[in-house]
Structure 1
């Protein structure tokens, strides 16, 4: 008889599972025995991941920005496992460049994916959690949920919105006395994942940030919330330090961050404008890590 694993019987839905932090979280939870329902746009990558995870995993090709697709993800989880214990809204896209250079269709899409997608996922998850009187919702934020970053302005706006959504939902669960329903938000620093390769980029330079954090540190923080849920978690010393600095010296912190970010952009190699994966998924960028830190060392 196989040893019982730490998360046997726990059902976790992850929207945005095909690469990056989503894929890293899937692999970690699969190794711990969880039931997994995985959503993303890239069907082949999902099928490969489900095969890797084993019989307690299911794949749903979906776009989180479309409500009917989020419902399909929800329905698959309920049909296969009968309940949902954890829902993680991981899917998100980036958009970089001077604000007036960003195509309005790209602005619309980043709002559709990052804000409406998170709202849809949160809505379906919480309705089920209220029926069960338990569950954990985890929304992925960013250091940009707390500090405004120029040239990442549209992305920052969406992450501020997700922070407001999550904070409001946390208060609703408190007021309605749902003690076993947890609303959590994770705020990483720039992380070495395919996010930068997939971002819409009109900066004239390659998308990158220095220094970058290891994706596994963020995966650790996400998985820890299943055992010790918290309203808001800042991952890494850079995010924590920036948040403290912003609280103590908001004007100076934003000025210094803006100047530093501008220098990072201008120092990066040139690159043509691209909408990245905003409108259609890209074939490249399929791993947890994108190897950006090693790539930047060689440049």
Structure 2
């Protein structure tokens, strides 16, 4: 499918998966509307998108918890580019801590951004898409939308809600006989973004990216692919796919596996961390970035090299066994 004429709105485009996704659509020659709280970071994203031939950008600073601001975002996209073909709900925040230790104002804010922000985005997007008769709404959820974690209770709750939102919207469009509008949910595993550094943290321990870590570009490619070939849900990352499968066949086992993995590898055993609200209430200043310094792209390359080496070794061994078994050949 040719995407060059598509208009794409991306929330949370100031960094991480959102910025990588915006750049991926810009690479396709799309008109990309960039939304987040940080105008400085959005301008940096726009500069990167502008490097691609045919790409057009529009920066609209937006707090997705404000329904009127999100409606304004949709209007600006239509006024500037004539419509909205793709809307990517991606803006999200996180708060780590024991259930009793996360301040209620942080707990509530995570749910407001991650759930109501997506509700506002979906309402604005679907209004335009219904008028057009076509469009794709993509919600970026998480593997924790299927298997929750200790220490990130509001985030896990919010991502389960995102799964439910996508499912219920698909059902509504189905019973109404709507054919041209698709609702897709993306469930990334651990991704190399600034998400973990920017999270609120009340654990007393430094939050680190839980391995295996994948690149945000991998998620962006999955999002672009969904526009061409819509699917209900897509899990990004082999480890994530394995865990989601396990959650469906052996949910109690999956819960225990995730609990152990989180305790051992998601919170540092060596580095302490002061209590912080992170970017939950106020965005981090600066131009933002796609990557968080966790080596997602490098680690993916290393895993692929290891698999290739193992397959090559197995092929050589199989060849030797075959040779020994057929001396007359």
TM-score category by the smaller chain? over 0.9
- Could you tell me how far 1:214 is from its partner in structure 2? 1.6
> Shift of residue 133 of structure 1?
1.2
Secondary structure in 2 matching 1:13:
strand
* Matching residue of 2:77: 77
The offset of 1:293, in angstroms, is 3.4
2:295 paired residue number: 293
How far apart are the structure 1 equivalents of 2:258 and 2:56?
44
Alignment of 1:23-172 (within 5 A): 23-54=19-50, 56-172=56-172
Task: Render the CA deviation track for 1:57-98: whole Å, top value 9, x for unaligned.
Answer: 100011111112101211110110121100000100011110
Structure 2 CA distance for aligned equivalents of residues 276 and 224 of structure 1: 32
Inter-partner Cα distance in structure 1 for 2:254 and 2:45: 41
How far did residue 284 of structure 1 move? 5.5
TM-score (norm. length: structure 2): 0.85
- Mapped partners of 1:275, 1:153: distance in 2: 15
Structure 1 residue 6, shift from structure 2 partner: 4.4
Q: 2 CA distance for matches of 1:217 and 1:149?
A: 23
Q: 1:149 to 1:132 in 2, by over 3 A?
A: same
Q: Distance in 2 between matches of 1:257 and 1:144?
A: 9
Larger mean Cα displacement after TM superposition, 261-270 or 275-284: 261-270
> Does the 8 A contact of 2:40 with 2:287 survive in 1?
no
Query: Match for 2:279 among 251, 274, 277?
Result: 277
Aligned length: 291
The corresponding residue for 1:260 is: 261
Q: Judging changes above 3 Å, is the alpha-carbon distance between structure 1 residues 269 and 284 closer, same or farther for their aligned structure 2 residues?
A: farther
8 Å CA contact 2:207–2:268 kept in 1: the answer is: no
How far has the Cα of 1:50 moved from its partner?
2.2
CA RMSD, Structure 1 to Structure 2 (Å): 1.7
Per mean C-alpha deviation after superposition, the further-off stretch among 255-264 and 139-148 is 255-264
Please, what TM-score do these two structures have when normalized by structure 1? 0.93
Q: Quick check: 1:207–1:268 contact (8 Å CA) kept in 2?
A: no
* Farther off after superposition, 83-92 or 51-60: 51-60
> Which residue of structure 2 aligns with residue 251 of structure 1?
252
Q: Secondary structure at the match of 2:100?
A: helix
Q: Distance in 1 between matches of 2:157 and 2:45?
A: 32
1:223 alignment partner in structure 2? 224
Runs of 4+ in 1 over 6 A off after TM superposition: none
CA pair 237-285 structure 1, distance change in 2 beyond 3 A: farther
Q: For the Cα contact (< 8 Å) 2:110–2:158, is it kept in 1?
A: yes
Shift of 1:210: 2.3
Alpha-carbon distance between aligned partners in 1 of 2:66 and 2:80, rounded to the nearest angstrom: 22
Instruction: State the Cα distance separating 1:274 from its structure 2 match.
Output: 0.7
Tell whether the 8 Å contact from 2:98 to 2:202 is kept in structure 1 after alignment.
Answer: yes
Q: Secondary structure of 1:136's match?
A: strand
Structure-2 separation of matches of 1:113 and 1:85: 23
Higher mean C-alpha displacement, 72-81 vs 262-271: 262-271
Deviation, structure 1 residue 262 = 1.0
> Measured at CA, do residues 82 and 285 of structure 1 come closer, stay the same or move farther in structure 2, by a change above 3 Å?
closer
